[in-house]
Amino acid sequence: MNRTQLRGLWHLRKAGEKPREERMPRHVAIIMDGNGRWAKKHRLNVSRGHRQGTETLREIIRHTDDLGIEALSLYAFSTENWNRPAEEVAALMQLILDFFASEIDELDEKNVRILILGDKSALPEQQRAVLQEAEERTGKNTGLRLNIAINYGGRAELARAAAEIAALARDGKLKPEEVSEQTVADHLYTRGQPDVDLLIRTSGEMRLSNFLLYQNAYAEFIFPEVLWPDFTVAEYDRCLAAFGRRDRRYGGR
């Protein structure tokens, strides 16, 4: 869908609302929840649920890019996900390899810039190398900012930012009283990107689960009931249209 076609999407807006394009989110974050329940519903192994979820992921990335949205952040693997059964962790790690092997050429061609949010150092060697290579290969691209959170935790991200800022203060490069909200933002993985405007979590769960705690400060939250493998582009469009109807006041009137 191009920008002209996109205008058609906003017919869902209420009469009298502002025109559409400024009502598009600049940054969408998605918690892709419900793979396990989808697998159970279909009497399949949980790994099949994650594999099906990866198909949804491909469609949603494509659509986000087509819509001209600036940034998309996806929660693929949290710091807590290591506590899942070894077989499931292994399946998720394999999916990461498969995903990049099959998608990197197209993403690069489409000028998508990939950034991994999280601590890559704790990942297996092969995954680390693939992720590093994807970031390097697309690092100068100027299109969609595709952030994939892997071994990510929001509190860990804030602690890391605090440590970096403390080191600057220790070395006399920054005075403690100069530390501002912008200083913190500049030390997050997402530095230079807009805050999250719209957070979507599928499967009806209504939690943030340690995802982009700082960046979601003024995000609009939408919780579609649908399980992630069943989430469609049409459902995504409905979320975007619902976002366009929200009245965002940022604490003002």
Does residue number 96 form part of the binding site for ligand FPP (CB under 6 A)? Answer: yes
From the list 1-9, 29-37, 234-242, 245-253, the region that binds ligand FPP by CB under 6 A is: 29-37
From the list 7-15, 94-102, 107-115, 215-223, the region that binds ligand FPP by CB under 6 A is: 94-102
Beta bridge partners of 201: 31
The distance of closest approach from Cβ of residue 57 to ligand FPP in the complex, given in angstroms and rounded to an integer, is: 5
Look-up: residue for tokens 């990942």?
123
Distance between CA 119 and CA 123 in Å, rounded? 8
Q: In what order do the strands lie in the sheet with 145-152?
A: 113-117, 145-152, 71-78, 27-31, 198-201, 220-222
Look-up: residue for tokens 């109807």?
245
**Which is closer to ligand FPP, CB of 89 or CB of 185?**
89
Q: Is 141 a catalytic residue?
A: no
Of these, 25, 36, 154, 244, which contacts ligand FPP (CB under 6 A)?
Answer: 36
Residues 6+ apart with CB under 8 A from 103: 58, 61
From the list 91-99, 111-119, 138-146, 209-217, the region that binds ligand FPP by CB under 6 A is: 91-99
DSSP state of 171: T
Q: Is 81 a catalytic residue?
A: yes
Look-up: residue for tokens 């366009």?
244
From the list 51-59, 104-112, 191-199, 215-223, the region that binds ligand FPP by CB under 6 A is: 51-59
Does residue number 153 form part of the binding site for ligand FPP (CB under 6 A)? Answer: no
Name the catalytic one among 81, 108, 186, 230: 81
Task: Write out the E strands in 55-197.
Answer: 71-78, 113-117, 145-152
The distance of closest approach from Cβ of residue 227 to ligand FPP in the complex, given in angstroms and rounded to an integer, is: 7
Residues 6+ apart with CB under 8 A from 185: 191, 214
Of these, 23, 30, 34, 243, which contacts ligand FPP (CB under 6 A)?
Answer: 34
Chain-centroid distance of CA 71 in Å reads 8
Q: Report the first-to-last Cα separation within the chain, whole angstroms.
A: 35
Which residues contact ligand FPP by CB under 6 A? 32-37, 50, 53-54, 57, 76, 81, 92, 95-96, 99, 148, 203
Residue numbers annotated as active site: 33, 81
